[in-house]
Structure formats: C-alpha cells, structure tokens
Structure 1
Amino acid sequence: MGVNRDKVDLWKADVARSVDFYNEWFMVFAPNAFRETRIETTKRVEKALLLTENLTNIRPETLQANPSVLPMLRMATCPPIARDRLIGLAGVSPNLVKSMEDEQRIPPMMKAAELLEQLNRIGDIIERMADPDIFVWKQRSDNGTTEEVHRASIIVADRLCGAVANPIIRNAQEKRQLAAIKSWLEARGYRELVLGDAKDFLTMPAGTFSFRFNVPITMDGGKKVNIPVDAVIMRKNAQRGDFPALFEAKSAGDFTNTNKRRKEEAVKIQQLRKTYGNQIAFDLFLCGYFDSGYLGYEAAEGIDLVWEHRIEDLAQFGF
C-alpha cells in the first residue's frame, strides 16, 4: 500500500494546493533569485568586455585563454546569435564552439594554427555584429565610459539570464526543497552524512541522509554508471543490508513540461530495480504543476510521492 500514489481521490485537491504553493513561492522568491544571478552575470560580462577591450579587439589569444566568455559575446550582437548560427556564420568547427561553451576549454587535440584561425573568425563575426545600440562607443571609435560599459553589461546579462531563466528558477527551487527535507529530518534526530561516514549509499549509517548522492547502476552490457539522486535517507531502524530511501526533488511551473519529462523517473526506477531488485524504492518530493496524468504514470511504475505542502507525509515512509 502506498502513501500517496494510491490516493487518487486526493490528487485533484493536492494538485491545486501544490500549484498555489509554487506560485506563492515564485512571486516572492523568484525575482530575487533571478536578480542575484543577474548581478553575478553582470560582473562576468564586465570581465569579458575588459578582456576584449570593450568589444573593440577580440583577439584569438584572448578567446583561447578565456573560452568561457563566448556565450556572453554571442549575446552582445544584434540580433543575439544562437550557437549553431555562430558556427555557420564563422565557418568554424562545431566541436570548438561546444567545447568552449559546455566545457569552458579549447579542444586539446586541435592544431594551434587551425585553432587561432577559427578563433579569429569568431572574433570577427562578434565585432562586426556587435549591437550598436548597446555598445555605443564603437561608433565613436573609443572604448566607452565606465557608465556606458556598465549599462551594456547589464543588458547583455539580462539577455543571458533570460535565455536560462527556467534553470535559474529551477535551481533556486531545488535548493529550497532540499533545505525543507533537511530541516524536517534534523528535527527528528537525523544527521547529514559527512565525508568518511560511508563508502557508498548502501553503507550509510542508520539515521543519516545525504543530498545529490551518486548511486551506481548496471546498464545493458554490464557497463556501470552513476545516477544522481537528490535525497538518500537511511532510516533510524535500518538493519544491515537494508536499502536507504531514495527521493527525487522535482518542481515545475507548468503542466506541459512535467508530462514531457515524466518518463525520466520511470527509467530511473527500472534501472535501479534491474541492478538491486524490487526491494529498492525510488519516490518523489513534488512542488508545483503535476497533474493526474503525470501522477498516474509514475504510480503505475510503483513510484510514490510526497507533496511539499504536506511534507509531514515523509513520516509514513518510516522516518
């Protein structure tokens, strides 16, 4: 018997309460989370402008030494250039651009002469397409005033943050969710795992918990990989060989994306059972827009759930 997965008659009311819970949080905290990220991003944009002489001299050596500035430079053009568009316009290697943006490094096997040539092409495109309404000093052929550079940095930072607004909010929400679990567990005598307490999730001492813990699984063909689990909790009464409880903290600001991604949890529980057997459990800690279609899909896989607005339901999992 489940805690909430089989309480279909309660789902409608809980969905409504969860949506209200998320919306209240969003209205109060999301603007602050976005603003804090924008402030930090503005500082990084100012650094990128300093390195490129305020977008008047984007040298290939600068890009080679500071590959992480490329996403900011793409947002400095008119119009802002998507990654694939930059690759096409500059006629450069997709691997070069993706490595600079995703890994903040230059491909190690790329030949030096070819690298400098391609970085030079990227710099030329950025300089030619730099937004004249933002970088007003380029029309004057100078480097701009301090006030102009700061204003331009804020605008570019806004563009960058706007492109990743959902991840910013999602990360802030996840931190809050995990903090709520931590507070609830510690109030009941649990303690957070410290380095050296356990060599893996199976050897955690009773009465401990950990966040973003890697759990190894065996894929088809015998390959072992780690899957990250948001919350791993070893019950106080756990005996040797017992599995800890595994929870995924999920939040959503609309119904569409949750139903698009509902297979992710089903895949995880299937992989866990294939590796450890049917006794292992993988459940959800939810806040936001999760409708009956999503809940029914997860319940069919044997995945239970706790609503954040009813966090006390964690007690029914034996904590």
Structure 2
Amino acid sequence: MINSDKPQLWKNDVEASVQLYNNWFLEAAPKAYRETRLLTIEEVEQTLQWTANMTNITPEVLKSHPKALATLRMSTAPPIARDRLVGLSHGSKSLVDKMEKEGKLPSRMKEDACHAHLSKMCNVINDLLDLDLFEWRRTGEPAAPRQRELAATVIADRLCGAISDPIVRNAQEKRQLALIEAWLVDRGYTKKPHPASLPLHTMQPGTFSFRQIVVVGEDHEVNIPVDVVIQPHSPQGHNLPVLIEAKSAGDFTNTNKRRKEEATKIHQLQARYGEDISLLLFLCGYFNSGYLGYSAAEGLDWVWEHRIEDLEYAGV
C-alpha cells in the first residue's frame, strides 16, 4: 500500500491537495477559459456568416453546417438546452446529438424526416431569437460591425459558460499528464503506445503510454481507456504494468458522485487479470476522507500530485 492504508496522513494530504488545486485554478483556469472563448468566438462568427447575421436560419443552413446548431441554441432568449430544443420542436434527440457532437446528420434518417425536424427546430429558434442581441433583425437595417462583434462575444460566453467545468477539467488533465510524463522521462522512460491487440503483460519495460486501451471482460471483451500505463524498468514477476487514472476536482460534491467509476474499473481489471493488477489514482484537488475511505475499501490506492515521488513505491 502507498497511501490507502495511512488514514493518519489523509487530513494533511487533503489540505495540501486542495491548496495545490486552488493555486493552479487561480493561475491557469482563466487563461484556459479565455483561449477556449477565442476559439468559440471564431465558431460563432462563422455561424453569423452562414446565417447572414441570423436573418437566414433555415434547414438548408443546418444541413450544410450541422455544428451551427449549438450556437443557434445560445442565440435565443433564454438560451435553450439540447433537450429543451427537442421538447419545444417535438424533434429527434438523436438528430440533435449527432449534429452537435459529430457535426453530421444521421445517415439512416430519411431526407424528408430530417428536413421536417430541422424546419421545426429553425421555427423555434427564430421565434425565440434574442432580438436585444440581434437588433438588426427587428429594425431591418444591416448589422453594424460593432453590433455583430458584441453579439458574437455574448454568444461565445454563453457557450463557454455551459461547458466551463469541462474546459477547466480538460486543462487540468492535460497538466497532470504532462507532469507525469516529465517525471517518467527524467527517470529514463520512453513514451511508446502498447497495441491493445497484444497481451498487457508483454508491454516493453521502461515504456509508458497515455489513454491506453485495455481489454477487460471474459465472455464479452470490452475495451476501456486508462489514462496512464507504465511498464517499470524492472517489471514485477507477473509482468503487469502499473495503471493510473488522473483525477482532479474543484469541489468535494462531484468527487463523491463520481467515486464509483474507479471502483467499477478496478473490478473489471481484476476480473480479467487477477488480484495482481493495480490501479492507482493520481489525485489533485478536493478528495475528502469519504472518497478516500470508499476507494481504499474497493481496493484502490493513490498517489497525490503534491507528492508525485510516491510513484516509486509502486515500483516505477
């Protein structure tokens, strides 16, 4: 055990972890948000161009540019969520999800049905369009450059506000993986993906990979992603690598809601590879004793980001 069997250390570690996360958030999160907003403003400006400054919101536009739907949802007063748009238009949830997540129209949906759904969505958006933002729609005059710029910025803020948590979470995950990579490279490890088609125990010593696909299951094999997989320079007798999930959290509530995810993953791994397989959590942020106790009871161990050198106890 590294930390799961040392509850006397948990309180101090939680305090140090929370402080580390807060310091990072104050320094880096605004920058990550601003960078995403700049990219989002570009996407909004494209939608303004495609819709002739919101004067031509039609099924034809959505057929040519399905991803514009997210911007159009945020252009109404009030902005509407995906499910609300589906409900108001009596539309297809799968169609909306396909358009926004993949930027495509469903290949199996008949053209007439697709056109009908898009028409109803456009009617809802046109009826609810925020005319305080797009005043030119009300006056019939051309959009002034300053009006257009302001509208694009407001809609981008609405879009980023709806996904602010994922923006921060993605930035933190990227930073955590970069920290692990630097630590491993300093110790002579090489980043080299291990083919999912090859047995896990054949991973080359002294290598590591990120977002590695690992096969679990017996009767029905399932591929699950693991954030970090490391085969030590001197593998243990079973030759199984060390598996790590990078976890960060900005509040205590969400960690307790999500704690079953890792427990499910370790059970899947042990069912396939036996008790010798280990899954470490790489923690930064708000993980309290309730989360830690639950994880320890499920056979999970962890390394705190503020004490990354504890990876050495895992044989890395």
- Taking structure 2 as the reference length, the TM-score comes to 0.96
Distance 1:197 1:273, change over 3 A: closer
Using the TM superposition, give the Cα deviation of residue 194 of structure 1 relative to its aligned residue in structure 2, in angstroms: 5.2
Q: Do structure 1's residue 285 and structure 2's residue 290 form an aligned pair?
A: no
Aligned to 2:101: 102
Aligned to 1:267: 264
Query: Match for 1:133: what amino acid?
Result: D
- Report Cα offsets for 1:244-266 as digits up to 9, x if no partner: 00000000000011011111111
Distance 1:201 1:157, change over 3 A: farther
Aligned to 2:273: 276
Q: Do structure 1's residue 206 and structure 2's residue 200 form an aligned pair?
A: no
Residues in 1 aligned to 2:217 and 2:22: alpha-carbon distance in whole angstroms: 39
Distance 1:197 1:74, change over 3 A: closer
Aligned to 1:309: 306
Residues in 2 aligned to 1:127 and 1:76: alpha-carbon distance in whole angstroms: 9
Find 1:226's aligned residue among 202, 210, 223. Answer: 223
Using the TM superposition, give the Cα deviation of residue 132 of structure 1 relative to its aligned residue in structure 2, in angstroms: 1.2
State which drifts further: 99-108 or 303-312.
Answer: 99-108
- Report Cα offsets for 1:114-155 as digits up to 9, x if no partner: 211221221122122111111121112144122221211111
Root-mean-square deviation (CA), in Å? 1.7
Using the TM superposition, give the Cα deviation of residue 239 of structure 1 relative to its aligned residue in structure 2, in angstroms: 6.2
Query: Does structure 2 retain, via aligned residues, the 8 Å contact 1:201–1:232?
Result: no
Residues in 2 aligned to 1:48 and 1:138: alpha-carbon distance in whole angstroms: 16
Distance 1:92 1:197, change over 3 A: closer
State which drifts further: 204-213 or 58-67.
Answer: 58-67
Query: Does structure 1 retain, via aligned residues, the 8 Å contact 2:194–2:209?
Result: no
Distance 1:193 1:143, change over 3 A: farther
Using the TM superposition, give the Cα deviation of residue 234 of structure 1 relative to its aligned residue in structure 2, in angstroms: 0.3
Q: Do structure 1's residue 86 and structure 2's residue 85 form an aligned pair?
A: yes
Query: Match for 2:169: what amino acid?
Result: R
In structure 2, the gaps of 5 or more residues are none
Using the TM superposition, give the Cα deviation of residue 13 of structure 1 relative to its aligned residue in structure 2, in angstroms: 0.3
Residues in 2 aligned to 1:44 and 1:73: alpha-carbon distance in whole angstroms: 11
Residues in 2 aligned to 1:18 and 1:54: alpha-carbon distance in whole angstroms: 47
Q: How many residues align?
A: 316
Aligned to 1:151: 150
Residues in 2 aligned to 1:200 and 1:76: alpha-carbon distance in whole angstroms: 50
Residues in 2 aligned to 1:199 and 1:314: alpha-carbon distance in whole angstroms: 25
Using the TM superposition, give the Cα deviation of residue 308 of structure 1 relative to its aligned residue in structure 2, in angstroms: 0.3
Query: Match for 1:6: what amino acid?
Result: D
Residues in 2 aligned to 1:213 and 1:24: alpha-carbon distance in whole angstroms: 30
Query: Match for 2:2: what amino acid?
Result: V
Query: Does structure 2 retain, via aligned residues, the 8 Å contact 1:229–1:248?
Result: yes
1:30-41 residue pairs with structure 2 within 5 A? 30-41=29-40
Distance 1:241 1:4, change over 3 A: closer
- Report Cα offsets for 1:37-59 as digits up to 9, x if no partner: 00001100111111111111012
Query: Match for 2:216: what amino acid?
Result: I
State which drifts further: 36-45 or 64-73.
Answer: 64-73
Secondary structure of residue in 2 paired with 1:261: helix
Find 2:315's aligned residue among 311, 314, 318. Answer: 318
Using the TM superposition, give the Cα deviation of residue 202 of structure 1 relative to its aligned residue in structure 2, in angstroms: 3.3
1:1-319 residue pairs with structure 2 within 5 A? 2-193=1-192, 199=198, 201-218=200-217, 222-238=219-235, 242-319=239-316
Using the TM superposition, give the Cα deviation of residue 196 of structure 1 relative to its aligned residue in structure 2, in angstroms: 7.5
Using the TM superposition, give the Cα deviation of residue 97 of structure 1 relative to its aligned residue in structure 2, in angstroms: 1.6
Using the TM superposition, give the Cα deviation of residue 165 of structure 1 relative to its aligned residue in structure 2, in angstroms: 0.6
In structure 1, the gaps of 5 or more residues are none
Query: Does structure 2 retain, via aligned residues, the 8 Å contact 1:53–1:143?
Result: no
